[in-house]
């Protein structure tokens, strides 16, 4: 088992909550009075691409973004990395919050949480913001995809994830670098924390004197990358827009089953690509939806 039972169930719980919050965000963007069928974004227009081939620019953007991140890591340009990360969080949260509140309120909330996440990170702000970020991204990309293109996207992402973790291992390098820089994109569930989650006091006594020193404690942490949350959510969002609401609500459970299989069969301290397992769960869920429709 990759993690303890408690940490595993917490991770799975956050994963499912992120999926359903994200579907709620996408649902609130649906507007049948608009020509596109969706409410406009508060940050500008969506990419103008064909639904049939929209997976191509998405894949290219991921590859280009990865190259840029690796370059910044090699050059130790962490401040550019953090600025880029801040902007991505800020824009995603604006889109997410705008599904529920007016634009000016969404902007203020997004700015506050983005600043908090970058400059004062902790367990709660890290994971609570992750619950909304991917819903914001889904609201951007779901309208430009159909079932065929999102299926192709899921297959390509699964292949890329497997290659990046098992072959080139650059995904592991990026994940470690993000964690060290405290700008990790994804869920982070620590096994335990010291005082304030950072430092504990260690008192050492000798026969002659007592000395006290502060020591940093390295805490084992369970992580789940942002792509492992965002892509199944986008898949479920497309199912919602093309097939219906209840159909989309089935997908996250099967995605979670795929993730559960990995977490329960994975080995401790080993790195695994989650998307192949989550992707299989998504496709099985889609198959179940189709079968139910035939009954």
- List the Cα angle 109/113/118 in 5-degree steps: 150
Q: Which residues pair with 221 in a beta bridge?
A: 190
Residue 117's alpha-carbon distances to 86, 127, 281, in angstroms, are 8, 10, 31
pLDDT of residue 15: 97
**pLDDT classification of 181: cutoffs 50, 70, 90:** confident
Calculate the average pLDDT of the chain.
88
- Percent of the chain topping pLDDT 70: 91
In tens, the pLDDT along 20-36 reads 999 999 999 999 888 77
User: Helix axis angle, 245-265 relative to 5-29, nearest 10°?
Assistant: 160
pLDDT of residue 294: 87
Q: Which residues pair with 203 in a beta bridge?
A: 212
Please state the φ and ψ torsions of residue 80, each to the nearest 5 degrees: -70, -40
Half-sphere exposure of residue 246: CA atoms within 13 angstroms, side-chain side: 5
The DSSP H or E segment spanning 200 is strand 199-205
* Cα–Cα distance, 219 to 210 (Å, whole number): 27
Here the tokens at position 129 are 């913001």
Predicted model pTM: 0.89
- List the Cα angle 187/224/173 in 5-degree steps: 110
Give Dmax (Cα) for the chain.
Answer: 82
In tens, the pLDDT along 195-230 reads 444 423 333 333 333 333 333 445 678 889 999 999
Q: Which residue, chain included where needed, has tokens 């999102």?
A: 150
Query: Higher-confidence residue: 281 or 211?
Result: 281
Query: Higher-confidence residue: 276 or 36?
Result: 276
pLDDT of residue 207: 33
């Amino acid at each position: 088992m990759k993690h303890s039972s408690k940490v595993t169930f917490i991770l799975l719980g956050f994963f499912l909550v992120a999926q359903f919050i994200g579907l709620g965000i996408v649902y609130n963007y649906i507007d049948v009075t608009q020509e596109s069928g969706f409410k406009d974004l508060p940050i500008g227009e969506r990419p103008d691409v064909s639904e049939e081939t929209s997976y191509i620019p998405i894949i290219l953007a991921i590859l280009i973004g990865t190259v840029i991140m690796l370059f910044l890591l090699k050059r130790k340009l962490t401040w550019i990395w953090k600025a880029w990360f801040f902007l991505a969080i800020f824009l995603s949260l604006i889109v997410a919050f705008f599904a529920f509140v007016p634009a000016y309120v969404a902007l203020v909330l997004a700015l506050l949480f983005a600043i908090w996440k970058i400059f004062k990170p902790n367990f709660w702000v890290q994971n609570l913001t992750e619950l909304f970020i991917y819903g914001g991204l889904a609201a951007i990309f779901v309208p430009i995809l159909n079932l065929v293109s999102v299926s192709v996207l899921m297959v390509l992402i699964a292949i890329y994830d497997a290659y990046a973790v098992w072959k080139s291992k650059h995904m592991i390098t990026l994940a470690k670098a993000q964690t060290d820089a405290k700008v990790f994109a994804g869920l982070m569930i620590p096994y335990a924390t010291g005082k304030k989650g950072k430092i504990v006091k260690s008192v050492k006594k000798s026969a002659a004197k007592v000395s006290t020193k502060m020591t940093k404690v390295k805490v084992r942490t369970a992580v789940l990358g942002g792509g492992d949350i965002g892509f199944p959510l986008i898949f479920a969002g497309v199912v919602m827009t093309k097939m219906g609401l209840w159909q989309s609500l089935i997908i996250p459970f099967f995605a979670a089953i795929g993730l559960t299989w990995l977490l329960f069969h994975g080995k401790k301290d080993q790195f695994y690509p989650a998307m192949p397992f989550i992707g299989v769960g998504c496709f099985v869920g889609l198959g179940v939806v189709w079968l139910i429709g035939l009954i």
